[in-house]
Structure 1
Amino acid sequence: MNPILHQIGAVFIPVRDIEKARDWYSDLLGLPERGEILFGHLYVIPLQGMNLVLDSRIYSEENLFQVPAFHFNTEDIEQAYEYMNSRDVELTTEIENNHWFNFRDPDGNHLMMCKC
Protein backbone atom coordinates (compact mmCIF):
# COMPACT_ATOMS: atom_id res chain seq x y z
CA MET A 1 0.00 0.00 0.00
CA ASN A 2 1.33 3.43 -0.97
CA PRO A 3 1.30 5.77 2.08
CA ILE A 4 1.39 8.95 -0.02
CA LEU A 5 -1.98 10.68 -0.32
CA HIS A 6 -3.20 12.23 -3.56
CA GLN A 7 -3.38 15.64 -1.92
CA ILE A 8 -1.42 18.84 -1.67
CA GLY A 9 -1.45 20.27 1.83
CA ALA A 10 0.07 23.68 1.16
CA VAL A 11 1.91 25.90 -1.28
CA PHE A 12 4.70 28.06 0.17
CA ILE A 13 5.01 31.59 -1.18
CA PRO A 14 8.24 33.53 -0.53
CA VAL A 15 7.47 37.01 0.80
CA ARG A 16 9.72 39.83 1.92
CA ASP A 17 7.65 41.24 4.81
CA ILE A 18 5.37 38.70 6.50
CA GLU A 19 2.99 41.27 8.02
CA LYS A 20 2.53 43.21 4.77
CA ALA A 21 2.06 39.97 2.83
CA ARG A 22 -0.46 38.68 5.38
CA ASP A 23 -2.48 41.87 5.05
CA TRP A 24 -2.28 41.97 1.22
CA TYR A 25 -3.37 38.34 0.72
CA SER A 26 -6.06 38.61 3.40
CA ASP A 27 -7.46 41.75 1.75
CA LEU A 28 -7.25 40.20 -1.71
CA LEU A 29 -9.16 37.10 -0.59
CA GLY A 30 -11.65 39.04 1.53
CA LEU A 31 -10.55 37.42 4.78
CA PRO A 32 -11.62 39.67 7.67
CA GLU A 33 -9.36 38.24 10.35
CA ARG A 34 -5.63 38.63 10.61
CA GLY A 35 -4.30 35.54 12.32
CA GLU A 36 -1.13 34.89 14.19
CA ILE A 37 2.25 34.94 12.51
CA LEU A 38 4.03 31.72 13.45
CA PHE A 39 7.69 31.57 14.48
CA GLY A 40 8.19 35.13 13.26
CA HIS A 41 8.13 34.19 9.56
CA LEU A 42 5.09 32.02 8.63
CA TYR A 43 1.46 32.87 8.01
CA VAL A 44 -1.03 30.17 7.02
CA ILE A 45 -4.06 31.08 4.92
CA PRO A 46 -6.55 28.22 4.98
CA LEU A 47 -8.27 27.66 1.64
CA GLN A 48 -10.65 25.00 0.44
CA GLY A 49 -8.55 21.96 -0.41
CA MET A 50 -5.16 23.27 0.74
CA ASN A 51 -3.39 26.11 2.48
CA LEU A 52 -1.22 28.98 1.34
CA VAL A 53 1.79 29.48 3.56
CA LEU A 54 3.46 32.86 3.34
CA ASP A 55 7.08 32.51 4.42
CA SER A 56 9.51 35.39 4.85
CA ARG A 57 12.40 33.08 5.78
CA ILE A 58 12.57 31.61 2.25
CA TYR A 59 12.34 35.00 0.52
CA SER A 60 14.95 35.88 -2.07
CA GLU A 61 14.60 37.19 -5.59
CA GLU A 62 15.73 33.80 -6.89
CA ASN A 63 12.87 32.06 -5.04
CA LEU A 64 10.07 34.22 -6.45
CA PHE A 65 7.56 32.47 -8.69
CA GLN A 66 8.61 33.33 -12.23
CA VAL A 67 5.55 31.48 -13.55
CA PRO A 68 2.38 30.68 -11.60
CA ALA A 69 2.72 27.52 -9.49
CA PHE A 70 -1.05 27.43 -8.89
CA HIS A 71 -4.14 29.46 -9.66
CA PHE A 72 -6.94 31.04 -7.69
CA ASN A 73 -10.43 30.07 -8.85
CA THR A 74 -13.22 32.41 -9.85
CA GLU A 75 -16.66 31.87 -11.32
CA ASP A 76 -16.59 35.25 -13.12
CA ILE A 77 -13.25 36.00 -14.79
CA GLU A 78 -14.29 39.47 -15.99
CA GLN A 79 -15.43 40.52 -12.51
CA ALA A 80 -12.23 39.11 -10.98
CA TYR A 81 -10.14 41.05 -13.51
CA GLU A 82 -11.96 44.30 -12.76
CA TYR A 83 -11.70 43.66 -9.01
CA MET A 84 -7.93 43.18 -9.26
CA ASN A 85 -7.55 46.19 -11.53
CA SER A 86 -9.54 48.39 -9.10
CA ARG A 87 -7.18 47.33 -6.29
CA ASP A 88 -4.11 48.39 -8.31
CA VAL A 89 -2.83 44.82 -8.48
CA GLU A 90 -0.13 44.48 -11.14
CA LEU A 91 -1.87 42.60 -13.95
CA THR A 92 0.68 40.95 -16.24
CA THR A 93 -1.76 39.67 -18.88
CA GLU A 94 -5.18 40.51 -20.18
CA ILE A 95 -7.92 37.90 -19.81
CA GLU A 96 -6.74 35.09 -22.08
CA ASN A 97 -9.13 32.75 -23.91
CA ASN A 98 -11.95 34.15 -21.74
CA HIS A 99 -10.56 31.85 -19.04
CA TRP A 100 -7.52 33.17 -17.13
CA PHE A 101 -5.15 36.05 -16.39
CA ASN A 102 -1.87 36.49 -14.55
CA PHE A 103 -0.85 39.05 -11.94
CA ARG A 104 1.89 39.69 -9.39
CA ASP A 105 1.80 40.05 -5.65
CA PRO A 106 3.68 43.00 -4.09
CA ASP A 107 6.84 40.88 -3.79
CA GLY A 108 6.85 39.99 -7.49
CA ASN A 109 5.48 36.43 -7.37
CA HIS A 110 3.58 35.57 -10.55
CA LEU A 111 0.12 34.24 -9.78
CA MET A 112 -2.89 33.24 -11.85
CA MET A 113 -6.66 33.66 -11.68
CA CYS A 114 -8.65 31.03 -13.57
CA LYS A 115 -12.34 30.56 -14.31
CA CYS A 116 -13.52 27.30 -12.80
Structure 2
Amino acid sequence: MSHPINAFMPAVFVPVHDLKRAIEWYANLFQRPIVPQPDQDTHGIYIFALEETEIILDRNTWGSPPTVMFDADDIHAAHQFCEHRPHTVLTEAFTDEYISVFNINSHMVCKANRDLGLKPGRPTNAHLRKISRILVHTDDIEDTTAWYEAFVGKSAGSDPRFGDLPAILMDRGPHLLIDDNRLSHSQSKYFEQLQVETRTNPIMIMESPDLDAALAHVHSVGGLVKEGIEKRLGVTCFHFQDPDGNGYLVVEEVDKTAQ
Protein backbone atom coordinates (compact mmCIF):
# COMPACT_ATOMS: atom_id res chain seq x y z
CA MET A 1 0.00 0.00 0.00
CA SER A 2 1.16 3.54 -0.72
CA HIS A 3 1.76 5.93 2.16
CA PRO A 4 -1.43 7.93 2.98
CA ILE A 5 0.35 11.33 2.92
CA ASN A 6 2.15 12.11 -0.32
CA ALA A 7 5.64 13.59 -0.25
CA PHE A 8 4.48 16.77 -1.96
CA MET A 9 3.51 20.20 -0.63
CA PRO A 10 1.21 21.79 -3.24
CA ALA A 11 0.59 25.05 -1.36
CA VAL A 12 1.47 27.25 1.59
CA PHE A 13 -1.20 29.49 3.13
CA VAL A 14 0.32 32.84 4.11
CA PRO A 15 -1.77 34.81 6.67
CA VAL A 16 -2.39 38.43 5.69
CA HIS A 17 -4.32 41.23 7.40
CA ASP A 18 -5.53 43.13 4.33
CA LEU A 19 -6.07 40.86 1.33
CA LYS A 20 -6.28 43.63 -1.26
CA ARG A 21 -3.06 45.22 -0.09
CA ALA A 22 -1.32 41.82 0.07
CA ILE A 23 -2.42 40.88 -3.47
CA GLU A 24 -1.01 44.12 -4.84
CA TRP A 25 2.24 43.71 -2.91
CA TYR A 26 2.86 40.10 -3.99
CA ALA A 27 1.86 40.88 -7.58
CA ASN A 28 4.67 43.44 -7.61
CA LEU A 29 7.06 41.02 -5.90
CA PHE A 30 6.34 38.23 -8.39
CA GLN A 31 5.83 40.60 -11.33
CA ARG A 32 2.43 39.11 -12.08
CA PRO A 33 -0.78 40.74 -13.30
CA ILE A 34 -3.65 40.65 -10.83
CA VAL A 35 -6.37 38.35 -12.15
CA PRO A 36 -9.61 38.36 -10.11
CA GLN A 37 -10.40 34.85 -8.88
CA PRO A 38 -13.86 33.31 -8.35
CA ASP A 39 -15.24 33.93 -4.85
CA GLN A 40 -12.03 35.74 -3.90
CA ASP A 41 -13.84 38.16 -1.61
CA THR A 42 -16.14 35.47 -0.20
CA HIS A 43 -13.39 33.01 0.68
CA GLY A 44 -10.77 35.61 1.54
CA ILE A 45 -7.92 34.00 -0.39
CA TYR A 46 -5.87 34.72 -3.49
CA ILE A 47 -3.67 32.13 -5.20
CA PHE A 48 -0.33 32.78 -6.83
CA ALA A 49 0.23 29.63 -8.91
CA LEU A 50 3.99 29.18 -8.91
CA GLU A 51 5.95 26.18 -10.09
CA GLU A 52 4.87 23.08 -8.12
CA THR A 53 3.89 24.95 -4.93
CA GLU A 54 1.34 27.77 -4.73
CA ILE A 55 1.45 30.70 -2.34
CA ILE A 56 -2.09 31.33 -1.08
CA LEU A 57 -2.70 34.65 0.61
CA ASP A 58 -5.31 34.04 3.31
CA ARG A 59 -6.98 36.71 5.43
CA ASN A 60 -9.00 34.03 7.28
CA THR A 61 -5.90 32.71 9.06
CA TRP A 62 -4.59 36.09 10.20
CA GLY A 63 -3.29 35.59 13.74
CA SER A 64 -2.23 31.98 13.05
CA PRO A 65 1.05 30.55 11.75
CA PRO A 66 1.44 29.87 8.02
CA THR A 67 -0.15 26.59 6.97
CA VAL A 68 1.66 24.10 4.76
CA MET A 69 -0.59 21.90 2.62
CA PHE A 70 0.30 18.26 2.01
CA ASP A 71 -1.22 16.14 -0.73
CA ALA A 72 -3.22 12.91 -0.30
CA ASP A 73 -4.96 10.48 -2.64
CA ASP A 74 -7.45 9.16 -0.06
CA ILE A 75 -8.53 11.73 2.53
CA HIS A 76 -10.14 9.14 4.84
CA ALA A 77 -7.04 6.94 4.91
CA ALA A 78 -4.92 10.05 5.54
CA HIS A 79 -7.16 11.13 8.43
CA GLN A 80 -7.12 7.68 10.03
CA PHE A 81 -3.34 7.69 9.77
CA CYS A 82 -3.11 11.11 11.45
CA GLU A 83 -5.39 10.03 14.30
CA HIS A 84 -2.56 7.79 15.47
CA ARG A 85 0.19 10.38 15.04
CA PRO A 86 1.11 12.74 17.91
CA HIS A 87 -0.84 15.97 17.45
CA THR A 88 -2.29 18.93 19.31
CA VAL A 89 -4.95 19.80 16.69
CA LEU A 90 -6.78 17.44 14.36
CA THR A 91 -9.98 18.59 12.66
CA GLU A 92 -12.60 16.42 11.03
CA ALA A 93 -12.33 15.91 7.28
CA PHE A 94 -14.42 18.30 5.19
CA THR A 95 -15.50 17.43 1.65
CA ASP A 96 -17.19 19.37 -1.12
CA GLU A 97 -17.20 19.05 -4.90
CA TYR A 98 -13.76 20.65 -5.18
CA ILE A 99 -11.66 19.36 -2.28
CA SER A 100 -11.48 17.08 0.73
CA VAL A 101 -9.41 18.54 3.53
CA PHE A 102 -8.51 18.47 7.22
CA ASN A 103 -5.94 20.15 9.45
CA ILE A 104 -3.36 18.57 11.71
CA ASN A 105 -1.39 21.01 13.87
CA SER A 106 -0.34 23.84 11.52
CA HIS A 107 -0.63 21.65 8.42
CA MET A 108 -3.43 20.95 5.99
CA VAL A 109 -3.93 17.65 4.21
CA CYS A 110 -5.87 18.00 0.99
CA LYS A 111 -7.21 15.92 -1.89
CA ALA A 112 -8.48 17.68 -5.02
CA ASN A 113 -11.82 16.20 -6.12
CA ARG A 114 -11.94 18.04 -9.43
CA ASP A 115 -9.88 20.36 -11.56
CA LEU A 116 -9.84 23.74 -9.82
CA GLY A 117 -9.29 25.54 -13.13
CA LEU A 118 -5.94 27.09 -12.17
CA LYS A 119 -3.41 27.72 -14.89
CA PRO A 120 -0.16 25.74 -14.70
CA GLY A 121 2.35 27.29 -12.35
CA ARG A 122 5.16 29.46 -13.63
CA PRO A 123 8.48 30.50 -12.08
CA THR A 124 8.14 33.39 -9.66
CA ASN A 125 10.20 35.87 -11.71
CA ALA A 126 13.71 36.54 -12.99
CA HIS A 127 14.93 37.64 -9.55
CA LEU A 128 13.25 35.01 -7.36
CA ARG A 129 13.51 31.99 -9.61
CA LYS A 130 11.97 29.21 -7.52
CA ILE A 131 11.03 27.91 -4.08
CA SER A 132 13.58 25.27 -3.08
CA ARG A 133 12.82 24.55 0.59
CA ILE A 134 9.91 24.94 2.97
CA LEU A 135 11.02 25.23 6.58
CA VAL A 136 9.91 23.48 9.74
CA HIS A 137 10.99 25.32 12.89
CA THR A 138 11.75 23.35 16.03
CA ASP A 139 13.57 23.32 19.36
CA ASP A 140 13.86 19.51 19.30
CA ILE A 141 15.36 18.58 15.98
CA GLU A 142 15.45 14.82 16.57
CA ASP A 143 11.81 14.42 17.64
CA THR A 144 10.59 16.78 14.92
CA THR A 145 12.57 15.00 12.23
CA ALA A 146 11.16 11.65 13.36
CA TRP A 147 7.59 13.04 13.27
CA TYR A 148 7.93 14.28 9.70
CA GLU A 149 9.67 11.11 8.54
CA ALA A 150 6.66 9.13 9.72
CA PHE A 151 4.21 11.74 8.40
CA VAL A 152 5.40 11.56 4.78
CA GLY A 153 6.89 8.08 4.89
CA LYS A 154 10.39 9.15 3.87
CA SER A 155 13.71 9.30 5.70
CA ALA A 156 15.58 12.53 6.26
CA GLY A 157 19.15 13.11 5.25
CA SER A 158 21.68 15.85 5.93
CA ASP A 159 21.27 18.87 3.69
CA PRO A 160 24.86 19.66 2.66
CA ARG A 161 23.95 23.18 1.59
CA PHE A 162 22.42 24.25 4.90
CA GLY A 163 24.85 23.16 7.57
CA ASP A 164 23.79 19.51 7.44
CA LEU A 165 20.34 20.36 8.83
CA PRO A 166 17.90 17.47 8.33
CA ALA A 167 16.04 17.60 5.03
CA ILE A 168 13.39 15.32 3.59
CA LEU A 169 13.46 15.18 -0.20
CA MET A 170 9.95 15.42 -1.60
CA ASP A 171 8.83 13.54 -4.69
CA ARG A 172 7.84 16.86 -6.28
CA GLY A 173 8.41 20.53 -5.61
CA PRO A 174 10.33 22.09 -2.70
CA HIS A 175 11.98 19.91 -0.11
CA LEU A 176 11.29 20.04 3.62
CA LEU A 177 14.11 21.54 5.71
CA ILE A 178 14.05 21.18 9.50
CA ASP A 179 15.75 24.02 11.36
CA ASP A 180 16.54 24.48 15.04
CA ASN A 181 17.16 28.21 14.43
CA ARG A 182 20.76 27.81 13.32
CA LEU A 183 19.65 29.02 9.89
CA SER A 184 16.59 31.14 10.64
CA HIS A 185 17.87 33.40 13.45
CA SER A 186 14.24 34.26 14.29
CA GLN A 187 12.24 35.03 17.42
CA SER A 188 9.30 32.92 18.57
CA LYS A 189 5.76 34.29 18.65
CA TYR A 190 2.73 33.21 20.66
CA PHE A 191 -0.37 32.30 18.62
CA GLU A 192 -3.40 32.41 20.87
CA GLN A 193 -5.71 30.61 18.44
CA LEU A 194 -3.54 27.46 18.56
CA GLN A 195 -2.15 28.21 22.03
CA VAL A 196 1.38 27.58 20.85
CA GLU A 197 4.56 29.61 20.81
CA THR A 198 6.63 28.97 17.73
CA ARG A 199 8.94 30.46 15.16
CA THR A 200 7.49 30.98 11.70
CA ASN A 201 10.13 32.91 9.74
CA PRO A 202 11.40 32.35 7.20
CA ILE A 203 8.50 30.38 5.79
CA MET A 204 10.49 29.16 2.81
CA ILE A 205 13.71 29.53 0.87
CA MET A 206 13.71 31.04 -2.61
CA GLU A 207 16.61 30.85 -5.05
CA SER A 208 17.92 33.67 -7.21
CA PRO A 209 20.52 33.70 -9.99
CA ASP A 210 21.69 37.15 -8.78
CA LEU A 211 21.38 38.04 -5.09
CA ASP A 212 22.26 41.71 -5.62
CA ALA A 213 19.53 42.10 -8.26
CA ALA A 214 17.05 40.16 -6.11
CA LEU A 215 17.79 42.37 -3.10
CA ALA A 216 17.33 45.52 -5.19
CA HIS A 217 14.02 44.16 -6.49
CA VAL A 218 12.76 43.36 -2.98
CA HIS A 219 13.74 46.86 -1.84
CA SER A 220 11.90 48.36 -4.83
CA VAL A 221 8.59 46.75 -3.83
CA GLY A 222 8.90 47.79 -0.18
CA GLY A 223 10.11 44.55 1.33
CA LEU A 224 11.59 44.84 4.82
CA VAL A 225 15.27 43.84 4.78
CA LYS A 226 17.10 44.30 8.07
CA GLU A 227 20.54 42.82 7.49
CA GLY A 228 21.08 42.85 3.71
CA ILE A 229 23.22 40.15 2.14
CA GLU A 230 24.91 38.01 4.79
CA LYS A 231 26.16 34.49 5.42
CA ARG A 232 24.21 31.93 7.43
CA LEU A 233 25.67 28.45 7.89
CA GLY A 234 28.14 29.37 5.16
CA VAL A 235 25.38 30.22 2.66
CA THR A 236 25.20 33.71 1.13
CA CYS A 237 21.63 34.95 1.51
CA PHE A 238 19.29 37.70 2.60
CA HIS A 239 16.07 37.67 4.59
CA PHE A 240 13.06 39.87 3.89
CA GLN A 241 9.51 40.30 5.15
CA ASP A 242 6.25 41.33 3.52
CA PRO A 243 4.12 44.13 5.06
CA ASP A 244 2.45 41.56 7.36
CA GLY A 245 5.74 40.22 8.74
CA ASN A 246 5.86 36.98 6.73
CA GLY A 247 9.52 36.15 6.12
CA TYR A 248 11.45 34.60 3.24
CA LEU A 249 15.10 33.65 2.83
CA VAL A 250 16.72 34.16 -0.57
CA VAL A 251 19.85 32.23 -1.52
CA GLU A 252 21.90 31.99 -4.68
CA GLU A 253 20.59 29.50 -7.22
CA VAL A 254 22.56 26.29 -7.69
CA ASP A 255 22.50 23.51 -10.24
CA LYS A 256 20.12 20.64 -9.48
CA THR A 257 23.08 18.27 -9.36
CA ALA A 258 24.48 20.27 -6.44
CA GLN A 259 21.32 20.20 -4.30
Q: Scaled by the length of structure 2, what TM-score is found?
A: 0.41
Residue 54 of structure 2: aligned partner: 51
**Number of residues of Structure 1 aligned to a counterpart in Structure 2:** 115
Q: How much does 1:5 deviate?
A: 1.7
RMSD: 2.0
Instruction: Spell out, residue by residue over 1:29-58, the C-alpha distance to the aligned partner (whole angstroms, 9 max, x if none).
Output: 000233322634111110101100110011
Residue 90 of structure 1: aligned partner: 224
Output the CA distance in 1 between the equivalents of 2:221 and 2:60. Answer: 27
Q: Which consecutive residues of structure 2, in runs of 5 or more, have no partner in the other structure?
A: 65-189, 192-198, 254-259
- Aligned residue among 186, 199, 203 for 1:69: 203
Output the CA distance in 1 between the equivalents of 2:41 and 2:250. Answer: 27
Q: Which consecutive residues of structure 1, in runs of 5 or more, have no partner in the other structure?
A: none
Measured at CA, do residues 94 and 12 of structure 1 come closer, stay the same or move farther in structure 2, by a change above 3 Å?
same
In structure 2, what residue type is equivalent to 1:5? N
Q: Scaled by the length of structure 1, what TM-score is found?
A: 0.85
Output the CA distance in 2 between the equivalents of 1:105 and 1:84. Answer: 9
Q: How much does 1:100 deviate?
A: 1.4
The answer on whether the counterparts of 2:24 and 2:34 sit within 8 Å (CA) in structure 1 is no
Aligned pairs for 1:97-108 within 5 A: 97=231, 99-108=236-245
- Are residues 1:78 and 2:212 paired? yes
The answer on whether the counterparts of 2:224 and 2:242 sit within 8 Å (CA) in structure 1 is yes
Output the CA distance in 2 between the equivalents of 1:68 and 1:42. Answer: 21
Residue 17 of structure 1: aligned partner: 18
The answer on whether the counterparts of 1:15 and 1:58 sit within 8 Å (CA) in structure 2 is yes
In structure 2, what residue type is equivalent to 1:21? A
